[in-house]
Amino acid sequence: MAYDKTAVRKILDQAKAAGRSSLTAPEAKGICEAYGIAIPKEGVAANAAEAAKLASSIGFPVVMKIVSPQILHKTEAGGVVVGVKSAEAAQEAFNSIVANARRYKSDATIDGVQVQQMLAGGQEVISGAVTDPAFGKLVAFGLGGVLVEVLNELGLNAAEIEALRKANVI
């Protein structure tokens, strides 16, 4: 299957130019789209009214998550609300997520709030890659979502996990 190398390179180059070693969720979505990987319906809202409109167009329930290059562990920051079932609840969730993110890291850049179709079943996963001086090329893959923080499970040994942490991959 062909993929859009130009789109992938642009996303990676923009993150690198910004001095980041990780991608935001919308950037990761762009990578998935470039590789033809199916993802839930989603969008990024800049304010509570946009969140309500976007959630209504996607269909309820939705999941809402903070979008910030400086907040990688969204659950830790109070930056995730699942099971949002109405436009009013989407507005409330937007305001709560942004307020929590500002309390968690007051100087963080907040790009908005991701509003995403909530799917039933399946398994959330996390993946990442880094070039470590000691280990070379590493790919992390494990249970995703809140389980990343709860289980700290990536299927890697402690030294590999520490290398990924130092590189801000996890």
The predicted-structure confidence for 52-109, as pLDDT tens digits, reads as follows 999 999 999 999 999 999 998 888 899 999 999 999 999 999 999 999 999 999 999 9
Q: How far apart are CA 156 and CA 147, in angstroms?
A: 15
What mean pLDDT, rounded, does the chain reach? 85
- Domains of the chain, by residue range, sit at 1-39, 40-121, 125-166
- Whether the ω angle into residue 40 lies within 30 degrees of 0, i.e. cis, is no
Residue 80 and residue 74 in contact, taking contact as beta carbons nearer than 8 Å:
yes
> What are the phi and psi torsion angles at 3 (to 5°)?
-135, 165
The dihedral through the CA atoms of 122, 63, 44, 52 has a sign that is positive
Nearest to 63 by CA among 81, 51, 79, 49: 81
Lowest mean pLDDT among 31-40, 41-50, 147-156: 147-156
Percentage of the chain modeled with pLDDT above 90: 52
Lowest mean pLDDT among 11-15, 24-28, 125-129: 125-129
> What are the phi and psi torsion angles at 87 (to 5°)?
-65, -40
Q: How much is the pTM? A: 0.72
**CATH architecture under which domain 40-121 falls:** 2-Layer Sandwich (3.30)
pLDDT for position 145: 65
